[in-house]
């Protein structure tokens, strides 16, 4: 007589974490807002958008402005600047969607660019310089042209405080329209994080004014430019920028190099044999008497 078969157990579905085998007071929910807000801290912008697109519940949680504020400050590596005029979702987009100022002005002249990073203006005063030599000194109050001729630097006041984004731009020679011209210009381009969302910028009513320019009519080893918050000129991080050996390329390295700290940014490109440089300083204000919202330091071979 053959062995009796055991009675097979019936199939059953997976049990939810909310099932009765848990203690009555220990109810788990996959839709716990605090949990997903914490998870969001580890996601980049693309992942946040993808998760928000899955359903209305995730859309509501992932599109909370506090989530995008955290992501923006984390990815820009800057502390909280305090009050801002726009939603952090929009600020994040303009910071990371590949936008830069030459997309709206002189686009036909633009060649290439690279993102340097972000820094903070705590004060309303900036030192702009092409001389990365210690110690940095605030020049006497003269016209920008005189300061540039005498010291190779100038002061700029009424800066809009908060987060600034710095890029290095490479553009074609802006003084001619010849297709055969292969001259290029290097520009340290810094802008307030809110610039591209501002109506005056979008409608073209804000534009760059020349603060001053001058020529160096002799062989120049490198094209350098820097922007410092004057409140932090004595910080250790400023000393790090002036330690050129730590970040500037070797003499035969022609690739642009950049250094950014919490309150300053600098660039340098070693140059081959040349006859000098023309250096131009520009600033954009938020209206005629408004705050400075963008700064450019440009260098072009003579």
Give residue-wise pLDDT tens across range 177-199.
445 455 688 999 999 999 999 99
Contact 116, 258 (CB under 8 A): yes
Residue 35 to residue 225: CA distance in whole angstroms: 45
Instruction: Give Dmax (Cα) for the chain.
Output: 114
Burial of 99 (0-12, 13-18, 19+ CB in 10 A): middle
Q: What is the pLDDT of residue 140?
A: 81
Query: Could you give phi then psi for residue 271, rounded to 5 degrees?
Result: -115, 145
For 47-64, what is the mean pLDDT? 89
Q: Which residues contact 133 (CB under 8 A, 6 or more apart)?
A: 242
Paired residues of 129 in beta bridges: 153, 226
- Minimum mean pLDDT range among 28-32, 123-127, 229-233: 28-32
Band (pLDDT 50/70/90 cuts) for residue 129 is very high
For 267-294, what is the mean pLDDT? 94
Band (pLDDT 50/70/90 cuts) for residue 176 is low
The answer, yes or no, to whether residue 6 has pLDDT greater than 80, is: no
The answer, yes or no, to whether residue 148 has pLDDT greater than 50, is: yes
Give residue-wise pLDDT tens across range 104-125.
777 788 899 999 999 999 999 9
Band (pLDDT 50/70/90 cuts) for residue 1 is very low
Residue 85 to residue 234: CA distance in whole angstroms: 31
More confident residue, 113 or 40: 113
Q: Which residues contact 54 (CB under 8 A, 6 or more apart)?
A: none
Residue 59 to residue 86: CA distance in whole angstroms: 20
Could you give the strand order of the β-sheet that contains 264-270, starting from the edge strand earlier in sequence?
153-156, 126-129, 222-229, 264-270, 257-261
Give residue-wise pLDDT tens across range 236-264.
999 999 999 999 989 899 999 999 999 99
Selection from 274, 131, 287, 150 nearest residue 212 by Cα: 150
Band (pLDDT 50/70/90 cuts) for residue 145 is confident
The answer, yes or no, to whether residue 60 has pLDDT greater than 50, is: yes
- The string of DSSP codes covering the chain is -PPPPPPPPPP-PPPPTTSTTS-TT----S--HHHHHHHHTT--HHHHHHHHTS-HHHHHHHT-HHHHHHHHHHHHT-------SS-HHHHHHHHHSS--GGGTSSGGGEEEEEEEEEEEE-SS-EEEES---SSP-PPPS--HHHHHHHHSEEEE-SBPPEEEEEEEEEEE-TT---TT---EEEEEEEEETTGGGSHHHHTT---EEEEEEEEE-S--SEEEEEEEEGGGTTSHHHHHHH-GGGTSPPTT--S-EEEEETTEEEEEEE--S-S-EEEEEEEEESSTTS-EEEEEEEEEE-
The answer, yes or no, to whether residue 58 has pLDDT greater than 60, is: yes
Q: What is the pLDDT of residue 255?
A: 93
Contact 159, 291 (CB under 8 A): yes
Paired residues of 189 in beta bridges: 167, 296
Band (pLDDT 50/70/90 cuts) for residue 35 is confident
* Threshold 0.75, pTM exceeds: yes
């Amino acid at each position: 007589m053959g062995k009796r078969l055991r009675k097979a157990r019936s199939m059953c579905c997976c049990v939810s974490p909310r099932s009765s085998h848990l203690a009555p007071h220990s109810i788990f929910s996959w839709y716990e807002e605090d949990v997903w807000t914490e998870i969001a801290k580890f996601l980049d912008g693309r992942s946040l958008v993808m998760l928000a697109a899955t359903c209305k519940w995730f859309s509501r949680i992932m599109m909370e402005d506090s989530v995008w504020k955290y992501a923006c400050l984390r990815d820009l590596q800057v502390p909280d600047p305090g009050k801002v005029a726009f939603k952090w979702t929009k600020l994040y987009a303009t910071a990371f969607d590949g936008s830069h100022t030459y997309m709206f002005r002189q686009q036909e002249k633009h060649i290439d660019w690279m993102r340097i990073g972000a820094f903070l203006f705590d004060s309303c005063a900036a030192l702009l310089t092409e001389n990365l030599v210690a110690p940095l000194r605030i020049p006497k109050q003269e016209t920008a042209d005189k300061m540039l001729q005498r010291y190779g630097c100038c002061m700029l006041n009424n800066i809009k405080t908060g987060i600034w984004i710095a890029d290095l731009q490479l553009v074609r020679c802006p003084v001619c329209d010849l297709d055969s011209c292969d001259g290029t210009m290097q520009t340290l381009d810094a802008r307030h994080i809110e610039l591209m969302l501002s109506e005056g910028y979008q409608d073209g009513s804000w534009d760059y004014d020349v603060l001053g320019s001058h020529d160096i009519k002799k062989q120049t080893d490198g094209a350098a430019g820097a922007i410092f918050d004057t409140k932090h000129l004595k910080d250790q991080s400023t000393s790090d920028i002036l330690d050129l050996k730590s970040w500037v390329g070797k003499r035969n390295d022609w690739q642009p190099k950049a250094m950014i700290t919490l309150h300053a940014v600098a660039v340098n490109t070693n140059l081959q044999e040349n006859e000098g440089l023309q250096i131009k300083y520009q600033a954009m204000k938020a209206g005629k008497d408004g705050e400075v919202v963008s700064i450019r330091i440009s260098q072009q071979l003579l």
